[in-house]
Amino acid sequence: MTSDEHHGDHRTEKDRRLDPFRVDKRDTVLTTDQGIPIDDTDNSLKAGERGPTLMEDFHFREKITHFDHERIPERVVHARGSGAYGYFEPYDDSLSLFTRAEFLTTPGLRTPVFVRFSTVAGSRGSADTVRDVRGFATKFYTRQGNFDLVGNNMPVFFIQDAIKFPDFVHAVKPEPDNEIPQASSAHDTLWDFVQLQPETTHMMMWLMSDRALPRSFRMMQGFGVHTFRLVNADGVGTFVKFHWTPKLGKRSLVWDETQKIAGKDPDFNRRDLWESIEQGAFPEYELGVQLVAEEDEFAFDFDLLDATKIIPEELVPLRPVGRLVLDRNPDNFFAETEQVAFHLGNVVPGIDFTNDPLLQGRLFSYLDTQLIRLGGPNFPQIPVNCPIIDVHNHHREGYHQMRIDKGKAAYHPNSLDGGWPVPADGRAYHHYQERVDGYKIRKRSESFSDHYSQATLFWNSMSDWERAHIVAAFQFELGKVTARHVQEGVVRNLNEVDHELAVAVAEGIGVDAPGTPLRPNHGRSSPALSMDHEPADTIATRKIAFLVADGVDASHVRCLMAELTMRGAICEVLAAHGGSVRAAAGEQLMVTRPMPTTASVLFDAVVVPGGAQSVRALAEDGDAVHFVAEAYKHGKPVGAIGEGADLLDLARVAPDPTRGVIVTSESDIEGFVTAFAAAVAAHRFPRRATRPVPA
């Protein structure tokens, strides 16, 4: 099969450019790296069958040496990631008033992209579902060169100046004496830093919210975080914030669930991304921008250059620009996802920087980090990193040089090689002409000093259940902290955000609650920050478990699965064993997977179909009862048909159609489908009283 056949007609220019690097092993024989055919790679060359291995065994030496050198340093942050290819397409040309960037302004132009999602704190092998920020880094292979939008799933950051980054990262990473805990912020050093560095407060509110627990990379937002600058053909600049909005809505897991998933399936988010692309359910996001005219730079009560602040969408609405579709998995994780090298300095004409001191520092760090991680200055030649346009300059040599640059003159200007390559014409990148004037000074701007108002804004914007989750998260994290003065310090900071929040957290961890509010809560909110009113209009790719045993009413299962699958859900039949069960009417019903190999936490919803014998057997099976109780506890839709209701009873789950527990008689399957699908589309029912449910 050729690559064209493999990837269908949707091949991008980037995909085609990867072809010469792809290696297909079909119809080949084993060789050394020098091409010498090898017929035995199972036995080393020895002096006698039981004798010592010989130095001259070049195949053995080469094989072991290569193996010994297989690892490269993992990223110092964002080590664990998952990537995918796709394309970006703008809706129209309306942004051309603001930017020369062709990929944002040429309707119908599909720009190839590679996106890497990541967690931040954990090592490369850590679990996906930890409480953490998620990276959302996009490399646009545009016709004007590569543009990297290296963002996160939260719109603000922990610190304001890049010089604090090593301090912050040292605090959040496992502690240096014993390297504990892995991929967790719930430990003394992080919270010590947090209490002493109040600029972290706003971001900590986001980190303690369910935003830190995305159900899927396909169901989270992305943000450029900094204020960037668009520049139009006349050289006029406009401040811009970039936002990605997932088509499937913003959806999160709950904390208890994430901890269990980390054991049951540490690859949960990675697998979800991979499988949805393999199944043709391509993740999609809308790019939106918030634009602020240069003359409005000082129109806000925060500084646009301060990355611990958002521009509330109610002040500057999001303007839709285009869509991002991820439609192809990489062929090789290491070659592509591990070796992709993002850098904030990769910009195209029409996009520029601002003086945000966090952004400015990143402009140094990303290039620097690739040099150590990828072993030298030629990492842009690694296939995943190459632009789709040809590269010509006078860079030469260095480790792993792949290019064979011809000619004598590797300098500019030259006459010996005809002066090539010549300076580019009007297409060239021109830096925005900003007047800069000031004293050299090591000082934070006064305009960066309000660390609490937006943390309060975030808190005020949360619904009742979102607030409850935030309080529980602070209680959990600080409950793990052993230094009492650190706990108290954090509570003091929280009292600057909201008195009730501080009191609730203090009570949970057992430190003295602050007696009085420091100041009245400003009362402002930004509804766009809450996840409580996401549209509940799709069940696409939601995973629904059907619990069955011998004697199940298979006609219900088939009918329901057909209806739900038609709406895009993924239905699986689970039984105590693999293979099949014998249904009530005598026919076989195939089992998708044995229950002991999976768990309720890996599904979005559960249905217990009817069939008296089946339900009796499930009632005797602790796994099945636990499955239902746990799904309920995590706020998931739970459905039962006919006798299936008995299993719900046993799991202490009472019917409640307004809170996603849908129970119906055998005769109303149609009504059940409608109500159940609506519940699945609503995702979770966080307002249930679940405390008494053991699970």
214 scored as a contact of ligand HDE (CB under 6 A): no
Comparison of 58 and 302: residue with beta carbon closer to ligand HDE:
302
SS3 per-residue string spanning 372-385: HHCCCCCHHHCHHH
If binding is defined by CB under 6 A, does position 382 make contact with ligand HDE?
no
Per-residue binder mask for ligand HDE (CB under 6 A), 408-447, x = binder: ----------------------------------------
Q: Is 362 annotated as a binding residue?
A: yes
Q: How far is the CB of 208 from ligand HDE (least distance, A)?
A: 18
Asked whether the beta carbons of 198 and 451 are under 8 A apart, the reply is yes
Q: Contact, 600 vs 520, CB < 8 A?
A: no
Q: Decide: residue 365, CB within 10 A, 0-12 exposed, 13-18 middle, 19+ buried.
A: middle
- Between 191 and 342, CB nearer to ligand HDE: 342
Judged by beta carbon, residue 130 or residue 137, the one nearer ligand HDE is 137
Span interacting with ligand HDE, options 53-61, 145-153, 563-571, 677-685, rule CB under 6 A: 145-153
Report the greatest alpha carbon distance in the chain: 90
**Does the protein bind ligand HDE through residue 202 (CB under 6 A)?**
no
| Structure token pair of residue 22 | 């792809």
Q: Which of 114, 165, 255, 448 binds ligand HDE (CB under 6 A)?
A: 165
Q: Does 222 bind ligand HDE (CB under 6 A)?
A: no
Query: Which of 369, 447, 453, 580 forms a contact with ligand HDE (CB under 6 A)?
Result: 369
Number of residues that bind ligand HDE (CB under 6 A): 25
151 binding ligand HDE? (CB under 6 A): yes
CA distance 648 to 669: 18
The answer to whether 543 and 602 are in contact (CB under 8 A) is yes
Q: Which stretch binds ligand HDE (CB under 6 A): 72-80, 318-326, 347-355, 456-464?
A: 72-80
Residues 332-351 that bind ligand HDE (CB under 6 A): 340, 342
> Cβ of residue 307: shortest distance to ligand HDE, in angstroms?
6
484 in a known ligand binding site: no
Residue-by-residue DSSP string for 576-621 = SSSSEEE-TTS-EEE-SEEGGG--GGG-SEEEE---HHHHHHHHT-
Candidates 152, 385, 493, 495; catalytic one: 152
Among 85, 98, 147, 157, binds ligand HDE (CB under 6 A): 157
Which stretch in 102-110, 185-193, 238-246, 362-370 sits in contact with ligand HDE by CB under 6 A?
A: 362-370
**Interface with ligand HDE by CB under 6 A: which range of 17-25, 74-82, 260-268, 632-640?**
74-82
Write down the least CB distance from residue 240 to ligand HDE, Å: 14
Cβ 199 to ligand HDE shortest distance, Å: 13
Does 432 show up as a binding residue in the annotation? no
- Does 242 contact ligand HDE by CB under 6 A? no
Residue 429 burial class via C-beta count within 10 angstroms: exposed 0-12, middle 13-18, buried 19 and up: middle
116 among the known binding-site residues? yes
CA 338, 339, 340, 342 torsion: positive or negative? positive
Query: 427 among the known binding-site residues?
Result: no
- For 450-480, b/e burial (b = at least 16 CB within 10 A) is bbbbbbbbbbbbbeebbbebbbbbbbbbbee
**What's the chain's Rg over C-alpha atoms?**
28
Contact between 644 and 607 under an 8 Å Cβ cutoff? The reply is yes
Which residue in the set 152, 185, 209, 346 belongs to the binding site for ligand HDE (CB under 6 A)? 152
Q: What minimum distance in Å lies between the beta carbon of 84 and ligand HDE?
A: 12
Task: Give the DSSP letter string of 158-224.
Answer: S-SSGGGHHHHHHHHSSPTTT--STT---SHHHHHHHHH-GGGHHHHHHHTSGGGSBS-GGGS-EE-
Q: Is 366 in the site for ligand HDE (CB under 6 A)?
A: yes
Q: In this chain, which of 173, 243, 309, 362 binds ligand HDE, going by CB under 6 A? A: 362
**Which residue in 191, 140, 149 sits closest to 362, CA to CA?**
149
Min dist. Cβ of residue 425 to ligand HDE (A)? 33
* C-beta closer to ligand HDE: residue 307 or 462: 307
Least distance to ligand HDE, CB of residue 287, Å: 15
Q: Are strands 543-547 and 111-119 parallel, antiparallel or unpaired?
A: unpaired
CB 31 within 8 A of CB 38: yes
78 binds ligand HDE (CB under 6 A): yes
Q: Parallel, antiparallel, or unpaired for β 237-246 and 284-293?
A: antiparallel
373 appears as a binding residue in the annotation: yes
Q: In this chain, which of 106, 118, 276, 378 binds ligand HDE, going by CB under 6 A?
A: 118
CB of 465 to ligand HDE, least distance (A): 27
Residue 152 annotated among the catalytic residues of the structure = yes
d(CA 290, CA 318): 5
CB 636 within 8 A of CB 600: yes
Residue 634 within binding range of ligand HDE, rule CB under 6 A: no
- Binding of ligand HDE by 162 (CB under 6 A): yes
Distance CA(267)–CA(68), nearest Å, equals 26
Task: Answer yes or no whether residue 361 interacts with ligand HDE by CB under 6 A.
Answer: yes
Q: What is the DSSP letter of 496?
A: H
Q: How far is the CB of 377 from ligand HDE (least distance, A)?
A: 15
The nearest distance, CB 541 to ligand HDE, in angstroms, is 23
| Residue from 84, 104, 171, 225 in contact with ligand HDE (CB under 6 A) | 225
Degrees to nearest 5, angle at CA 176 with 171 and 178: 125
Q: How far is the CB of 227 from ligand HDE (least distance, A)?
A: 11
Asked if residues 245 and 285 have their Cβ atoms less than 8 Å apart, the reply is yes
- Give the residue closest to ligand HDE by C-beta: 135
**Phi, psi (rounded to 5 degrees) for 37:** -65, 140
Cα separation of 570 and 545, whole Å?
Answer: 9
Q: Which stretch binds ligand HDE (CB under 6 A): 345-353, 361-369, 522-530, 591-599?
A: 361-369
Tokens 């190839």 locate to 112
Contacts (CB under 6 A) with ligand HDE, residues 298-317: 307
Of the listed 59, 66, 69, 78, which one is catalytic? 78
DSSP string, 348-380: -TTEE----HHHHHHHHHHHHHHHHHTTSTTGG
> Which three-class secondary structure state does DSSP give residue 452?
coil
Q: Which one among 84, 203, 208, 358 touches ligand HDE, defined by CB under 6 A? A: 358
* Residues forming the active site: 78, 152
Residue ranges of the binding site for heme: 75, 116, 165, 362, 366, 373
Q: What does the binding site for ligand HDE look like in residue numbers (CB under 6 A)?
A: 75-78, 81, 116, 118, 135, 137, 150-152, 157, 162, 165, 225, 307, 340, 342, 358, 361-362, 365-366, 369
